[in-house]
Amino acid sequence: MAPSATFIDVEPPVVIGPSTKKATRPSNELPWSLIDGAKLAKREEFDPVKHLNFIPPKSILTMKEIGLEGHGISPHAAAGPFPLFTPEAIAQMRAEIFDEKVLAECQYSSTFNKNMVRGMGPARAPFTYAAWKSPEVLARISEVAGIDLVPSIDFEIANINISIRDENSRVEHNVNLMSDKEELPAVAWHYDSFPFVCVTMLSDCTGMFGGETALRMPSGDIIKVRGPAMGTAVVMQGRYIEHQALKAMGGRERISMVTCFRPKSPLVKDETVLVGVRGISNISELYTQYTEYRLEILEERVRHQLKQERERETAKKPFNVPEMKRFLTNQKLFIESMLTEIQELD
């Protein structure tokens, strides 16, 4: 699947990340009831027949409709919420997320989000990773996005944002519990570090209202995308659209799973940056996975260009100087972007 729109060559939006510079663990523990309630007697392997519950979204907002025609990598801006996973799949994912080993090793906190679970990896969360790597799920996400996508890197599979309202905890004095009148936290206006995101709701949203995603158009007008319910998802081209998660009220918890995607084809531009995730990651894992996929893209682009050059020579066509310079310049910019993103941390 390839986008049919014509894209313009413009600088991508600047991403502003959290002020958190190094991986930081949350200062508050999660309520024990949340952890205990997620336990399952039997862990399962992901089975798309049993665990996938995809129903296409009723409508898809286009980049043209929000004043960004030609920007990004797809004509699709945002869609959802639409059913994606069954309740059984959500239960398996929650069991992995709130596993005590995962919480001990994969919790992060930043100035944007006080409590996240990130970088669980396939060893600690085999069901979750199998789900997001399955051809069936990727085909559905790509269908909604309007372009073939793959997970950006393993570390960005299943970033869990956790907001809670609970009175029972092992150490209540260490948990900042919210009163019934307070709203669950929201995320400020921002652009994402990765081309596309899929946000899946892992909480029962009964009694909850609000929680929409607001998209800010270049004109300043705001469009709202309805918040998802349990097992449903929203797909958005977040690298190119300024957006904000609006506050939600009511409900005991709000737990969402964000998985980041990039174009499957190495020939499609990839303007991924790390500024939004550098301070909330295992930096060695992040840099290793980022470098590996970027070098693979570079390798595939060079192979493709070499093949075209050999075919041109066989056909006795003249050398195209402007085309070759354009190709080399693009790869130079690609490498320079990597030099910018791979930074030593103090």
pLDDT tens per residue, the chain (346 residues)?
Answer: 645 455 667 788 889 888 888 888 888 889 999 999 999 999 999 999 999 999 999 999 999 999 999 999 999 999 979 999 999 999 999 999 999 999 999 999 998 888 999 999 999 999 999 999 999 999 999 999 999 999 999 999 999 999 887 554 443 322 333 334 444 445 678 999 999 999 999 999 888 888 888 999 999 999 998 887 899 999 999 999 999 888 778 778 889 999 999 999 999 999 999 999 999 999 999 999 999 999 999 999 999 999 999 999 999 999 999 999 999 999 999 999 999 999 998 7
| Cα gap 42→46, rounded to integer Å | 13
Give the 3-state secondary structure percentages of the chain, helix then strand then coil, rounded to 5.
35, 20, 45
Dig out the tokens for 119 from the structure: 């970088």
| Cα gap 150→289, rounded to integer Å | 14
| Contact (Cβ atoms closer than 8 angstroms) between residue 78 and residue 236 | yes
The Cα angle at residue 66 between residues 62 and 71, in degrees rounded to 5? 70
Three-state DSSP at 96 gives helix
pLDDT of residue 205: 86
| Cα gap 77→223, rounded to integer Å | 11
Domain boundaries, the chain: 32-264, 282-346
Q: To the nearest 10°, report the CA torsion of 74, 131, 296, 284.
A: 110
> Tokens 């020939």, residue?
267
**Contacts (Cβ under 8 Å, ≥6 apart) of 304:** 266, 267
CA 280, 284, 289, 294 torsion: positive or negative? positive
Write the DSSP string, 43-58.
Answer: -----HHHHB-----S
The closest alpha carbon to 33, from 159, 199, 175, 128, belongs to 175
**Contacts (Cβ under 8 Å, ≥6 apart) of 40:** 91, 92, 95
Give CB contacts under 8 A, 24+ apart, made by 341-344: 341/273, 341/274, 341/275, 341/278, 341/290, 342/274, 342/287, 342/290, 342/291, 343/278
> Tokens 């949350």, residue?
26
> Tokens 């009694």, residue?
207
Please state, in angstroms and as integers, the Cα–Cα distance from residue 256 to each residue in 4, 245, 289, following that order.
31, 11, 24
As assigned by CATH, the class of the 32-264 domain is mainly beta
pLDDT of residue 27: 84
Q: What are phi and psi of 246, to 5 degrees?
A: -75, 160
pTM of the shown model: 0.91
